[in-house]
Amino acid sequence: MPGGKQKQIEQAADLRVQSQIGEEERFRDLMRRMARENKTAVFSFFLIILMTLAAILAPNLTPYDENSMDLMHRLSPPSAEHLLGTDEGGRDELTRLLYGARVSLLIGVVPTLLSLILGSALGVLAGYRGGITDVIIMRAADVTLAFPSMLLAMVIMYSLGGGLVNVFLTLTLVNWANVARVVRSQTLKLKNSEFVEAARIIGVSEGKIMRRHILSNCLPTLLVLFTLNVPESILTESSLSFLGLGIQPPNASWGLMINTGRQYLYNAPWLCFVPGAAIMLVVLAFNFLGNGLLDVLDPRQKKQ
């Protein structure tokens, strides 16, 4: 997660807690407002849907098989037959790209969801319980955050070994701390907010307060974290695969495609730049969407 963003998410969340002002506080209204004001975000949203569909329907969209080699047509440049050319094994690049999208999108979404669940559970617990629970959880988060994310991912991948499931695990372990920190800081604010105090005075039990009043008020923030963490996961995985530490062949993620294409950078540059462009497009779309959400959920924007 880009550092500045995290800060902004935290601040926006804090402000939402402090000032439940405004007329359009409901989520549905906010989404409508975003749709109205931020066309880029809407466009990005549909782009993401489109890419997801393309990934799911990959077998129906291309006549070629993902893994069938055709050594006669190695490294052929883009043509009518192979729209994006072929790779070093003569496989159709477009087909590989579509199938790679499955892996890459999965890698974006699954570990992000896992880290959100883990991070928000630990964050709420740390923030609400305080004391020793808080110290232990937050020190663990500090240790995680002390690592440059790439380095932590490399170390974990090294000890777990390659493969899809391990990539999921690794990215979850890399990302949870950020989520926990944001959720904790929001929980601290919510815990002292009047409506939580009101619930406590009414006699609502702690577990119910955490679920009903705190976690549900964290949801918009979690949504922003989700949209901004997905591209981060995709980027980290592609970097890992680029170093040969991520997905193992014959599975294809976009990062891995770039890794293999790199050897042919000078005679078949499309093998690098096509999946690279795909990564960029997806990441950009998620970032635009996430920023749109953040803007619309940030009460400061409304003030002006």
Partner 1 sequence: MKQKIAQRSVQAVIVLIGVVLLTFVMLRIVPGNPIETMMGEHADAATVARMTAEMGLDQPLHRQFFRYLFSVVRGDFGTSYSLGKPVSLLIQSAFGNTLKLALFAALFAWTLGITCGLICAVSKNRLPDRLFMGFSLLGISLPVFMAAMFLQYIFAFKLHWLPISGTDSWKCFILPAIALGWNSAGQVAQMTRTALLETLAEDYIETARAKGLGNAGVLLSHALRNAMLPVLTMMTIQFSSLLSGAVITETVFSINGIGRLMVQAISGRDIPLLQGTSLLATSVVILGSLLADCLYSVLDPRIREES
Partner 2 sequence: MSGCLLEARELTKEFPAAGKKRIHAVSGVSLKIREGETLGLVGESGCGKSTLGKLMIGALKPDAGEVFFRGKNIIAMTEREFKPLRKELQLVFQDPYASLDPRMTVRDLVAEPIETWGLCANRKETTLRVQDLLRAVEIPEEFLCRYPHQFSGGQRQRIGIARAIAADPSFIVCDEPVSALDVSVQNQILNLLKALKASRKLTFLFISHDLSVVRYLADRVCVMFLGKVCEIGPTEEVYLHPRHPYTRFLLDAVPVPDPSQRGKEIRLLKGEPPSPADPPSGCRFCTRCPYAAARCAAEDPELRDLGGVQAACHFADKAFSV
List interacting residues with partner 1 (CB under 8 A).
2-8, 11, 40, 139-140, 142-143, 145-151, 154-156, 158-159, 231, 235, 238-239, 242-245, 258, 262, 265-266, 269, 272-273, 276, 279-280, 283-284, 287-288, 291, 300, 303-304
Cα–Cα distances in angstroms (integers) from residue 20 to residues 12, 42, 126, 190, 291, in the given order: 12, 26, 24, 12, 21
Going by the DSSP 8-state scheme, the letter that residue 268 receives in this structure is -
**23 contact choice in partner 1, partner 2, none (CB below 5 to 8 Å, kind-dependent):** partner 2
Count of residues that interact with partner 2, criterion CB under 8 A: 25
Give the tokens for residue 189. Answer: 């604010």
Q: Kindly report the number of other CB atoms within 10 A of residue 212's CB atom.
A: 14
Q: Which of 207, 236, 281, 223 is nearest to 12 (CA)?
A: 223
Cβ at position 283, least distance to partner 1 in Å: 4
Among 182, 188, 185, 178, smallest CA distance to 115 is for 178
Q: Scanning residues 174 to 203, which ones bind partner 2 (CB under 8 A)? A: 193-195, 197-203
**By the rule CB under 8 A, 216 interacts with partner 2:** yes
Which CB atom, from 57 or from 198, has the smaller least distance to partner 2? Answer: 198
In terms of Cα–Cα distance, which of 293, 292, 115, 130 is closest to 206?
130
State the Cα–Cα distance between residues 42 and 100, nearest whole angstrom: 25
131 binds partner 2 (CB under 8 A): no
Q: Which does 300 bind (CB under 5 to 8 A by kind): partner 2, partner 1, none?
A: partner 1
Binding site for partner 2 (CB under 8 A): 18-26, 193-195, 197-205, 212-213, 216-217
